[in-house]
Structure 1
Amino acid sequence: MADASEGRPRRLPRVTHPLIGTGPALIPDPAERSALARRLAARTGELTSMIVAAMESSHPWFLRLGAEERSWVTLVARAGIDNFITWFGDNSSMSGDPGLLFNVAPRVLTRKISLHQTVDLVRTTIDVVAQQVGELVPPRNQQALEIAILHFSRDVAFAAAEVYARAAELRGGWDERMEALIVDAVVRGEADEMVLSRASALGWLDRGQVSVAVGPAPAQPDLDALRHDAETQDLGILASVQGGRLVVIVSGRQLTEENAVVGALTSLADHFGPGTIVVGPLVADLIAATGSARAAHSAARTAHAWPASPRVVASRALLPERAIAGDDEARRALVEEIYRPLSRATELMRTCVSYLDHGCSVETTARALFVHPNTVRYRIRRIAELSGYSPAQPRQAYVLHLAITLGRLSEDEPAHHFDRDAPGRAASPGHTDAP
């Protein structure tokens, strides 16, 4: 909604003679009209409570709003009643202009509540007040009040349309540029407290962990539709198109692990262009999102090397392609998180290497190791538990094979190997020191 300092809607044209539907036209006697206005004012609080109750029972979206947003809606409803009373009682007063009632709420409310939902609010307010007309005024004034309500609501509807049109213009200008600068700062590794402050000014809320997704931009990006769909899932996002890619920073309390982020982006995939959408790892907050953006961009550059990848894929799933393309972070992850644990479990490493070298055949591996096939099957399950990857799955076997290869190479580089804790060359995969 527009506030008093920016995005203020223009006042509707005023005239010097009473229009049909205004207070002076319907009830010419100023004293009688003033008495009715006072009678309506005495019931303002009660009517506001009834409107809020009707919104809760009739519109599920209202219940999904946060406490702050609901209080803003309540303020708008109360302002609508107050402005109607002023408008009805004294047509010459500019404070009764229907277009000004939206000034009580901040402009960011237009990003929380859609125009359609605002229409729901106006319609519900009209219905509640109209239902109470019989108790609000004497019978002889009921028809006049009903006509006045209809005319005032018409003006409110036009004012609401103007507020949202102006908000869209502002969003397409200053907010879009500010959002693009924030996303660019995160991508370039320059996120700091200033970036966080600017994001907060755009309505970014701390909703838990943060992830960065990168995918192809559509031919005609509609970032407002993307934001609206994200808000319906209680997700906070910042989005910008950069060099043919759509970069989306997403946060939400439900995003507690990698699969949840992939699921959330899958529901928003229609807002991207054709191709793979890569989701970076979850990080603590917006300032730390640089790491997630770096991983997502690295994976996005190499995603074409895995044609069978899902439409939305985690950057971690592309560790092999990233490592081969020269991503040191991906190489380090493969060695430290997969190779190192296996190298400390000698029998599991020997079984994994033999299984991969013998075409992933349990029987052939068992003969090569002089063990029972069930022992090989048991060790394969233990390998999956220890490393997170099963050699029995083709894609995961590829990851294991590359991790072992990189791990062996790191052992052969005394000056640059990844194991910084060891003073010298580490043991080979097939060897372990006897206790």
Structure 2
Amino acid sequence: MAATSRGISKSLLPPPKTRASIAKRLSAVTGQLATAAVTAMEARHEWYSQLDARHRSWITLVAQAGIDGFVRWFADPDPSRPSTTEVFGSAPRELARRISLFQTVELVRTTIEVVEEQIDEVMPKNDRPFLHAAIVQYSREVAFSAAEIYARAAELRGAWDARLEALVVDAVLRGETDETVLSRASTLGWKTTAAVAVVVGPGPTAEATPTIESIRHEAAIAGIDLLGAVQGDRLVLLLGGDRLTEPDHPLVVVRRFVDEFGPGPVVVGPAVEHLMEASVSTRAALSGFRAAVAWPEAPRPVSAQDLLPERALSGDGHARRSLARDLYGPLAASGVDLIDTLVAFFDQGSSVEGAARTLFVHANTVRYRLRRVGELTGYSPTDARDAYALRLALTLGRLLPPAETA
């Protein structure tokens, strides 16, 4: 096997002295090669002609630098892997933002094709095989260099987006959502002007960025905007979409990616009308996340509304007032019969017949009143979990001032 340097097989290269002579002849026509390459770009690529004069001049500079770099590399007495940093370093960074990676590949391909064609026209026949073999290796390194530049730019962009996203999520959690936050969210692709829900769960066991991107993909399939960030041991997500106002739809969406969270409860806050009001959903989700330890059998994900009893017992004033206002309030407003029936039902071990005997009414009357309780509150006294919330609501409703239960 022929010995090789890092650049090209030495068996394909002439002796250094011959190579220097070829390079000298080639350097005499580099201007002609660059001109032919730019002319071909204008003819083959419509988007190139739409660039302004400044950007076209930068591309000409890159093409000339690439050809000059090839000549220097080929003339090196002991050529190693071509250094192409000087090729793309000859143009400002703005050029990478102005033309895409696909367009850069088109330009590199066009330049190589034109140079190979010109070699067959302007160089002696004996020089051509060596130059063709060498340009294949050099053009490969140019392509790798271009890919590296765009990959680095993508990484920097991704890191900046992640920091900006974390700032938006943090501002929402702190209840500081203003026009600046809305503008930043829009920059990150947030389009929702309707319902918003906040999700809080354990941080992922894997890398945060790939996890959030995986969740974002699932949310996009469900037609939901998403912003997310890891804060300490928590993963916080902002969901946005018209359908979040539908009953249980936020839970349906979160089930698509709930396994991306770490072990532990995943709590979904109530949907609110706008990102500016997301602090309401945030408060409920965080409170539920802290209190969920008291209900280890809770479904995953679980609504913050379903954790009202645990939240109330853990000191959440909003949860206490919600139980008193939304459960006890309607019962009190309907008259004493429903409350008395509910108390008797619970005191008699959830026995309809026992409650009927205590109240001196027919059992069907008790059943009717219990159904009425369910209609007014959304909680069924015959369901163990709902009964737990109703018992707590009775106590809180009696404890809190009437103004807080109205």
TM-score > 0.5 by shorter chain: yes
Structure 1 position 236 matched with structure 2 position 225: yes
Q: 1:399 aligns with which of 367, 389, 404?
A: 389
Measure, in 2, the Cα distance between the counterparts of 1:220 and 1:268.
14
Contact 1:216 1:274 in 2 (8 A): yes
Aligned-pair CA distance for 1:92: 4.3
State the match for 2:156 in structure 1.
169
Measure, in 1, the Cα distance between the counterparts of 2:195 and 2:333.
33
> Normalized against structure 1, the TM-score is what?
0.61
What SS does the aligned partner of 1:250 have? strand
Structure 1 position 209 matched with structure 2 position 199: no
Unaligned runs of 5+ in 1: 1-16, 19-23, 45-74, 107-117, 126-150, 411-416, 423-435
Measure, in 1, the Cα distance between the counterparts of 2:366 and 2:146.
73
State the match for 2:327 in structure 1.
338
Measure, in 1, the Cα distance between the counterparts of 2:146 and 2:387.
62
Structure 1 position 381 matched with structure 2 position 365: no
What SS does the aligned partner of 2:361 have? coil
For 2:162, the aligned partner's letter is E
Q: Which of the pair is proportionally richer in helix?
A: 2
Aligned-pair CA distance for 1:214: 1.0
Measure, in 2, the Cα distance between the counterparts of 1:338 and 1:36.
76
Q: 1:323 aligns with which of 294, 302, 312?
A: 312
Structure 1 position 419 matched with structure 2 position 403: yes
Aligned-pair CA distance for 1:154: 11
Measure, in 2, the Cα distance between the counterparts of 1:374 and 1:338.
23
Aligned-pair CA distance for 1:421: 9.3
Structure 1 position 293 matched with structure 2 position 304: no
Moved over 6 A (4+): 33-39, 99-102, 151-158
Contact 1:122 1:153 in 2 (8 A): no
Greater Cα offset, 369-378 or 329-338: 369-378
CA offset digits 1:216-245 (Å, max 9, x no partner): 112334234423432432322222222311
> Normalized against structure 2, the TM-score is what?
0.65
For 2:392, the aligned partner's letter is L
For 2:363, the aligned partner's letter is P
CA offset digits 1:131-153 (Å, max 9, x no partner): xxxxxxxxxxxxxxxxxxxx999
Measure, in 2, the Cα distance between the counterparts of 1:152 and 1:365.
89
Correspondence list, 1:242-253, <5 A: 242-253=231-242
Q: 1:355 aligns with which of 342, 345, 362?
A: 345
Structure 1 position 196 matched with structure 2 position 182: yes
Measure, in 1, the Cα distance between the counterparts of 2:165 and 2:297.
33
Contact 1:332 1:418 in 2 (8 A): no
Correspondence list, 1:301-320, <5 A: 301-320=290-309
Measure, in 2, the Cα distance between the counterparts of 1:253 and 1:159.
42
Aligned-pair CA distance for 1:324: 1.1
What SS does the aligned partner of 1:255 have? helix
Structure 1 position 259 matched with structure 2 position 248: yes
For 1:230, the aligned partner's letter is R
For 1:239, the aligned partner's letter is G
Residues 159/229 of structure 1: CA separation in 2 closer, same or farther (3 Å cut): farther
Aligned-pair CA distance for 1:288: 1.3
Q: 1:187 aligns with which of 170, 173, 176?
A: 173
State the match for 1:66 in structure 2.
none
Residues 209/365 of structure 1: CA separation in 2 closer, same or farther (3 Å cut): same
Contact 1:366 1:373 in 2 (8 A): yes
State the match for 1:8 in structure 2.
none
Measure, in 2, the Cα distance between the counterparts of 1:253 and 1:158.
45
Aligned-pair CA distance for 1:157: 8.6
Aligned length: 327
Aligned-pair CA distance for 1:185: 1.9
Measure, in 2, the Cα distance between the counterparts of 1:37 and 1:309.
64
Unaligned runs of 5+ in 2: 1-21, 24-28, 67-86, 107-137
RMSD: 4.5
State the match for 1:370 in structure 2.
360
Contact 1:207 1:236 in 2 (8 A): no
What SS does the aligned partner of 2:403 have? coil
